[in-house]
């Protein structure tokens, strides 16, 4: 059987980095790890072809070649997914859809022939056998959460690695916390399950053997969700990096209680973690309590951010406005906190009620849901009725973005961050970095309308933060993405 694996396109969001990737000559941030892992679970005699629509288009010859098309998507990829399913239907090609989007029970998925809800390890054998017999069922579901120790190596050879700016490895699934707005705990559970250190090292060996050097994203939603296991993994990562002369810079997502464990921070620094994304959400304590995000109340937020950055690990952070307990001055408080914390990459979004979350159930019971979430909380749009006046909320949200991503504000914040950053692991320098720097000097330094702020920032980095100049260049290029996206996002309707 010939299976065509199709990964739908992402829209332009904070996470797409579409305005920054061209500086490196890249098309997408990371390859579709879930789909590549599913490929490794399929029968070995099946022929495979993968098309990531974020790096190349799907051709008619691709569709003509296939016996069945597999799709995996998140909610934000929904429009692209639906377009490609319709294209397959017009050609009579059977379709299978999986991924997080299926947990949202999107009515448009009725167009697919087979829908897979749940983690693939427990489903793929039955699905593959049914497809080979021509007896595929409409729906496949598994409620139990599989052991990750049997997850195979992803089929990275199917991906065009040179098209991506980073590689991806998954260590765990699940999160122990109960944040009301989060769908991760609904999909993957509250008991974090992990791979063995040997599995993770095997994936790093595979990436290294394919010639990759540079950033590797550990894509866990909370890398430290199971602290006992991660502390067993980190010494192996440290030793592997040393033995291979530190070919990778690592980054991941974690919870803010990372700042409560300096042993863990030391281990992550020694393993060459250079960046971590944290869900800070808001400096308003009542809103954190509303969201049941109690882990963010145990230690001062600013103190936590500064401590992590003192270990040479850059903090990226997510922020949210739109909680019921947000006061009228929440917008100014968010701006001030981001400024004082010196977090250059601050993803600020509107609260969104994702399907089947605790928040979604509460708002539905209160009669406050308006429509299905699009899975992109950086749109100036709401899918529920807020307690705050809606126009004031949307106007305040625009004001946050326009302030924190004005070039002057952004570069001042980036400079303050470099002043706080402790001794950091040296990031491997690759050809695409040099190409990106050259393009940045030309496009941002001579052709942009913020070139004066750009050169002031880089000159300051040369004078005061020379040891972090590579980080300064990366932040300058990332700034271009956020300036462009903010301009598009905050346009009045």
pLDDT in tens, 456-490: 999 999 999 999 999 999 999 999 999 999 999 88
CATH assignment at residue 99: 3.40.50.280
Return the percentage of the chain with pLDDT > 90, whole number: 91
Compute the distance between CA of residue 400 and CA of residue 334 in angstroms, rounded to an integer: 8
The string of pLDDT tens digits covering residues 16-56 is 999 999 999 999 999 999 999 999 999 999 999 999 999 99
- Same domain? For 111 and 184 the reply is no
C-alpha triplet 72, 74, 75: angle, nearest 5°:
130
Band of the pLDDT at 374, cuts 50, 70, 90?
A: confident
| Average pLDDT score, the chain | 95
* Cβ 68 vs Cβ 131: under 8 Å: yes
Within a domain: residue 372? yes
Pairing of strands 172-173, 193-194: antiparallel
Length of the chain: 493
Residue 297 maps to which CATH number?
A: 3.20.20.70
397 and 438 part of one domain? no
Which pLDDT score, from 0 to 100, does residue 400 have? 98
Element (H, E) at 5: strand 2-7
Answer yes or no: do 112 and 80 share one domain.
Answer: yes
Question: Residue 261's pLDDT is what?
Answer: 97
Same domain, 378 and 324: yes
Model confidence at 493, pLDDT cuts 50, 70, 90, reads: low
- Are residues 266 and 131 part of one domain? no
Which pLDDT value is given to residue 45? Answer: 97
Alpha carbon separation from 118 to 16, 137, 294 (Å, rounded):
25, 15, 28
Q: Let me know whether 136 and 278 are in one domain.
A: no
Q: Taking phi first (over 0 means left), then psi (-120 to 50 degrees means alpha), and beta for anything else, what does residue 48 get?
A: beta
Binned at pLDDT 50, 70 and 90, residue 142 comes out as confident
Burial class of residue 211 in the structure, from the number of CB atoms within 10 Å of its CB (0-12 exposed, 13-18 middle, 19+ buried): exposed
Half-sphere exposure of 11 (CA within 13 A, CB side): 18
Region of poorest pLDDT, from 75-79, 328-332, 372-376? 372-376
Q: What is the mean pLDDT of residues 343-369?
A: 96
How many structural domains are present in the chain?
A: 3
> Does a structural domain hold residue 107?
yes
* Residue after which a domain boundary falls, among 141, 158, 178: 141
Beta-carbon contacts of residue 294 (< 8 Å; ≥ 6 apart): 288
Write down the pLDDT at residue 63: 98
Which tokens is 3 given? Answer: 């299976």
Residues 6+ apart with CB under 8 A from 7: 32, 35, 50, 51, 52, 53, 54, 71, 72, 73
278 and 220, same domain (yes or no): yes
The string of pLDDT tens digits covering residues 123-141 is 999 999 999 999 999 999 9
Let me know whether 245 and 386 are in one domain.
yes
Take residue 7 and report the two structure tokens written for it.
């990964």
Where a domain ends, among 141, 176, 211? 141
Looking up tokens 């020379």, which residue turns up? 466
DSSP state of 161: G
Mean pLDDT of 87-100: 97
Residue 106 binned pLDDT confidence (cut-offs 50, 70, 90): confident
Is residue 314 classed as helix, strand or coil in its secondary structure?
Answer: strand
Stretch 187-198: mean pLDDT: 96
Same structural domain, 35 and 176: no
CA-nearest of 9, 117, 23 to 53 is: 9
Is 148 inside any structural domain? no
**Could you tell me if 367 and 401 lie in one domain?**
yes
Tens-place pLDDT, residues 201-256:
999 999 999 999 999 999 999 999 999 999 999 999 999 999 999 999 999 999 99
Write out the DSSP string of 453-470: HHHHHHHHHHHH-GGGHH
Q: Which domain holds residue 31?
A: 2-141
Give yes or no: residues 213 and 241 share one domain. Answer: yes
Q: In this structure, what are the phi and psi dihedrals at residue 385, rounded to the nearest 5 degrees?
A: -90, 115
- Residue 5 · residue 47 · CB < 8 Å: no
Interatomic CA distance for residues 155 and 128, integer angstroms: 17
Say yes or no: 301 and 210 in one domain.
Answer: yes
Reported as a single tens digit per residue, the pLDDT across 292-339 is: 999 999 999 999 999 999 999 999 999 999 999 999 999 999 999 999
């Amino acid at each position: 059987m010939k299976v065509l694996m199709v990964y739908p396109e992402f829209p332009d969001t904070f996470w797409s980095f579409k305005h920054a990737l061209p500086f490196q000559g890249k098309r997408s941030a990371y390859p579709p790890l879930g789909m590549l892992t599913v490929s490794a679970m399929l029968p070995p005699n099946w022929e495979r072809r993968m098309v990531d629509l974020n790096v190349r288009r799907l051709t008619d010859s691709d569709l003509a070649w296939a016996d069945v098309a597999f799709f995996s998507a998140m909610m934000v990829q929904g429009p692209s997914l639906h377009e490609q399913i319709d294209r397959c239907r017009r050609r009579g090609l059977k379709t299978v859809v999986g991924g997080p989007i299926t947990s949202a029970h999107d009515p448009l998925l009725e167009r697919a022939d087979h829908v897979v809800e749940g983690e693939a390890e427990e489903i793929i054998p039955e699905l593959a056998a049914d497809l080979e017999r021509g007896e595929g069922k409409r729906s496949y579901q598994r409620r139990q959460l599989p052991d990750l120790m049997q997850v195979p190596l992803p089929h990275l050879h199917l991906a065009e690695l040179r098209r991506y700016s980073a590689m991806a490895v998954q260590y765990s699934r699940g999160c122990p916390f109960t944040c009301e707005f989060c769908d991760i705990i609904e999909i993957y559970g509250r008991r974090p399950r992990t791979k063995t250190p040997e599995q993770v090292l095997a994936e790093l060996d595979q990436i290294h053997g394919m010639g990759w050097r540079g950033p590797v994203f550990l894509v866990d939603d909370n890398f430290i969700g199971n602290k006992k296991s991660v502390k067993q993994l980190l010494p192996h990562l440290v030793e592997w990096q040393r033995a291979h002369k530190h070919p990778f810079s690592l980054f991941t997502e974690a919870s803010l209680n990372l700042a409560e464990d300096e042993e863990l921070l030391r281990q992550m620094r020694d393993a060459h973690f250079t960046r971590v994304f944290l869900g800070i959400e808001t400096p308003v304590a009542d809103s954190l309590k509303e969201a049941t995000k109690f882990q963010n109340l145990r230690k001062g937020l600013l103190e936590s951010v500064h401590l992590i950055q003192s270990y040479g690990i850059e903090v990226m952070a997510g922020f949210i406005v739109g909680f019921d307990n947000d006061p009228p001055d929440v917008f100014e408080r968010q701006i001030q906190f981001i400024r004082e914390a010196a977090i250059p990459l601050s993803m600020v979004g509107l609260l969104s009620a994702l399907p089947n979350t605790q928040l979604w159930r509460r708002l539905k019971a209160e009669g406050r849901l308006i429509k299905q979430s699009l899975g992109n909380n950086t749109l100036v749009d709401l899918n529920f009725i807020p307690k705050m006046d809606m126009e004031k909320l949307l106007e305040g949200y625009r004001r946050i973005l326009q302030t924190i991503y004005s070039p002057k504000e952004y570069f001042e914040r980036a400079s303050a961050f470099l002043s706080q950053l402790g001794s950091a692991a040296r990031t491997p320098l690759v050809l695409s970095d040099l190409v990106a720097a050259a393009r940045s000097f030309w496009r941002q330094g001579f052709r942009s309308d913020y070139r004066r702020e750009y050169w002031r920032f880089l000159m300051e980095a040369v004078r005061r933060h020379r040891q972090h100049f590579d980080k300064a260049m990366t932040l300058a290029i990332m700034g271009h993405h956020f300036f462009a996206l903010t301009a598009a996002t905050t346009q009045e309707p």
